[in-house]
Amino acid sequence: MKKIVLFVVLLLPLLTQAQSKQSKKKGPSTYDLVIGTYTTGTSKGISVYRFYAENGRLAYLSQIDNVVNPSYVTVSADNKFIYAVNELPKGEVSSFSFEAKTGKMQFINKQSSLGADPCYIAVDKARKNAFIANYSSGQVTVMPINKDGSLANGTQTVTSEGLGPNKERQEKPHAHMSILSPDEKYLLYNDLGTDKVNVFRFRSGKSSPLTDPTSVSVTPGDGPRHLEFSADKKHAYLITEMGSNVHVFDYDNGKLNQKQTITLLPEGFKGQTAGAAIHISPNGKFLYASNRLETNEVIVYAINQETGELTFVQRQSSMGKNPRDFAIDPTGKFLLVANQNSDSIFVFRIDQTTGRISPTGFKLEIGNPVCLKFVPAE
Q: What pLDDT is attached to residue 18?
A: 44
In this predicted structure, the answer to whether residue 350 has a pLDDT above a threshold of 90 is: yes
In this predicted structure, the answer to whether residue 12 has a pLDDT above a threshold of 50 is: no
pLDDT digits (tens, 9 = 90+) for 108-149: 999 999 999 999 999 999 999 999 999 999 999 999 999 999
Q: With contact defined as beta carbons under 8 Å apart, do 58 and 338 qualify?
A: no
pLDDT digits (tens, 9 = 90+) for 164-210: 999 999 999 999 999 999 999 999 999 999 999 999 999 998 989 99
- For the chain, what is the mean pLDDT? 93
Task: Give the pLDDT band of residue 27 (cuts 50, 70, 90).
Answer: low
pLDDT digits (tens, 9 = 90+) for 96-118: 999 999 999 999 999 999 999 99
- Name residues whose C-beta falls within 8 Å of residue 357's C-beta, 6 or more positions apart in sequence: 288, 298, 300, 314, 316, 335, 348, 349, 350, 351
Q: Alpha-carbon distance 344 to 362, whole Å?
A: 10
Portion of the chain with pLDDT greater than 90, in percent: 91
Q: With contact defined as beta carbons under 8 Å apart, do 310 and 260 qualify?
A: yes
Where are the extended beta strands (E) located within 87-126? 92-99, 104-112, 118-123
Portion of the chain with pLDDT greater than 70, in percent: 93
Where are the extended beta strands (E) located within 207-356? 210-217, 224-229, 235-240, 245-252, 255-263, 273-280, 286-293, 297-303, 310-317, 323-328, 334-339, 344-350
In this predicted structure, the answer to whether residue 25 has a pLDDT above a threshold of 80 is: no
Q: Looking at residues 348-376, what average pLDDT do you find?
A: 97
Q: Alpha-carbon distance 277 to 145, whole Å?
A: 27
Residue 24: its H or E element = helix 2-25
pLDDT digits (tens, 9 = 90+) for 261-318: 999 999 999 999 999 999 999 999 999 999 999 999 999 999 999 999 999 999 999 9
Q: What is the pTM of this model?
A: 0.92
In this predicted structure, the answer to whether residue 160 has a pLDDT above a threshold of 70 is: yes
Residues, the chain: 378
Task: Give the pLDDT band of residue 14 (cuts 50, 70, 90).
Answer: very low
Name which of 128, 86, 87, 132 is nearest 109 in CA terms. 86
- Name residues whose C-beta falls within 8 Å of residue 296's C-beta, 6 or more positions apart in sequence: 317, 318, 320, 321, 322, 323, 339
Q: What pLDDT is attached to residue 29?
A: 84
Number of Cβ atoms within 10 Å of the Cβ of 100:
21
pLDDT digits (tens, 9 = 90+) for 38-84: 999 999 999 999 999 999 999 999 999 999 999 999 999 999 999 99
